Amino acid sequence: MARSDFRSPRLYIDGPLGAGAAVPLDRDRSNYLGNVLRLGPGDGVLVFNGRDGEWRAAIEGGKRPTALRVDARVREQTSSADLRYVFAPLKHARLDYMVQKAVEMGASGLQPVLTRFTQVARVNLERMQANAIEAAEQCGILSLAAIAEPLPLDRFLSERDANRLLIFCDEEAEVANPVDALATSGNGKSGIDVLIGPEGGFAPEERDLLLRQSRVHRLSLGPRILRADTAAVAALAVVQATLGDWDKG
């Protein structure tokens, strides 16, 4: 697979891409390319839409960029690992960080769940989507993570595919090497759900419900209590290293 070009600006385009296609720029994109990046007619950018791979395009217009002219595909579309990040929502700034890092770590889906001790009940899905797009643009990711509507934890568990491996991080689990622990959890070929609860932890009845799931692994992230946004990065790193796509060329 061709390696990412990290020197060229990269933009997500919500539309079809193909050689010769003209992509109009809205005011925000035009301002970003012309005034922030100081690019002009003929300068190159990379574009992707999550379906058609990555393409090189050239800026068109005068002093203000008005469109992109798509030239040639530089990377074929690849499928992302079936790794869903499930989480109790946080307040804005930390939720922004958590969404960005989950996408960077390879999550293909983001599912907010409401638990007994969840501190934030309302989630701005448009803001989540914007953060997911920004992370994909900056990190050379070709697929966009699917953003789901928030669900109560019990409903999420009742509706999810029971064949998927559920890994939930629990501060009350026995401390053990998480990499070694996951090695005994089986494979994730049917998909993996990684669940991080609220900073107040899971209520006893929620923990009991989680442990009754058909394919479940209760995971400790070490002897320290981590903030939820830190736990997201730690858990996804362990899962990707053990069961995910880090061992693929």
- The CATH number that applies at residue 32 is 2.40.240.20
Q: Would 45 be classed as within a structural domain? A: yes
Residues 125 and 102 in one domain: yes
Domains contained in the chain, number: 2
| Res. 177 pLDDT band, cuts 50 70 90 | confident
CATH of the domain at 185: 3.40.1280.10
| Res. 178 pLDDT band, cuts 50 70 90 | confident
Range in 11-15, 50-54, 91-95, 137-141 the model is least confident about: 91-95
Q: Which residue has tokens 């890994």?
A: 167
Residues 117 and 34 in one domain: no
CB of 137 closer than 8 Å to CB of 46: no
- Report pLDDT digits (tens) over 194-243: 999 998 889 999 999 999 999 999 988 888 888 999 999 999 999 999 98
Residues 89 and 109 in one domain: yes
First to last CA, the chain: 8
Q: Which residue has tokens 């990412």?
A: 4
Gyration radius of the chain over CA positions = 20
Average pLDDT of the chain, as a whole number: 91
Q: Would 176 be classed as within a structural domain? A: yes
- Report pLDDT digits (tens) over 65-104: 999 999 999 999 988 889 999 999 998 889 999 999 999 9
- Report pLDDT digits (tens) over 57-68: 999 998 899 999
Average pLDDT on 165-183 reads 85
Domain that holds residue 34: 10-75
**pLDDT for the residue 3:** 63
Please say if the pLDDT value at position 2 is more than 60: no
Average pLDDT on 17-42 reads 94
Residues 21 and 104 in one domain: no
Please say if the pLDDT value at position 189 is more than 90: no
Residues 51 and 96 in one domain: no
| pLDDT > 90 in the chain, percent | 73
Residues 175 and 101 in one domain: yes
Cα–Cα distance measured from residue 60 to residue 44, given in angstroms and rounded to the nearest whole number: 10
Last residue in a domain, options 49, 75, 101: 75
Q: Model pTM?
A: 0.90
Average pLDDT on 28-41 reads 93
